[in-house]
Structure formats: C-alpha cells, structure tokens
Amino acid sequence: MEAPKGIQILAEAGDIQAICRNELRLESKDGEISLDARRIRLMQLPEGKASTSSSSSGTRQTVYEVCVCPNGRLFLSQAGTGSTCQISNSVCL
C-alpha cells in the first residue's frame, strides 16, 4: 500500500493480523512507531550471556531485561542490580 498522505487500518470489533514468510518492517522516517496495548509479547527472543555473572539471592523467579544491539536486534539478559546489556554480546553479531 502506498499513499501520499497516510493510511489508516482500523478494526473496531476484531483483530488485525499480518503474516509474512521473511521480514515484517515498520518504519517511520520522521515520526515514531507507537505500540499501544495492555500487553506486548516478544516471542522467542534469544538469551544473551552477560560478561559478569549475576548472583542469585535465593529468589524463585528470574527477572530479565530486554536489550537492543546496535543493529536493532533484541535479546534478553538476566537482570542484575545494574544493566546487564552488553553490546559485545554474541547475540549481536
């Protein structure tokens, strides 16, 4: 779809679904992309290995942070007291 002034897709009483074989891109040249939902699920993100080991204080639940590589790829890193995102992570290569 192409339009000189914009395109709006609206589903008042249902879902909108986009399925593709390879790559789905959302791109905004001069604005922003807003994801406005009660829940946003990022499925099957790879888990990176932090360069320093984080200590487990006996908690039952592991907490992760979502990290972004310089190339835009997302990955999970086990959260610590500070950020555990490392741009030298093998996930980013």
Report how far residue 16's alpha carbon sits from residue 69's, in angstroms, rounded to the nearest whole number.
29
Chain-wide mean pLDDT for the chain?
Answer: 83
Residue from 64, 73, 67 nearest 92 by CA: 73
Sign of the alpha-carbon dihedral angle for 90, 86, 55, 53: positive
Report how far residue 15's alpha carbon sits from residue 86's, in angstroms, rounded to the nearest whole number.
36
pLDDT band for position 11 (cuts 50, 70, 90): very high
Q: What is the per-residue pLDDT for 22? A: 93
Report how far residue 48's alpha carbon sits from residue 84's, in angstroms, rounded to the nearest whole number.
9
Q: What is the mean pLDDT of residues 22-51?
A: 87
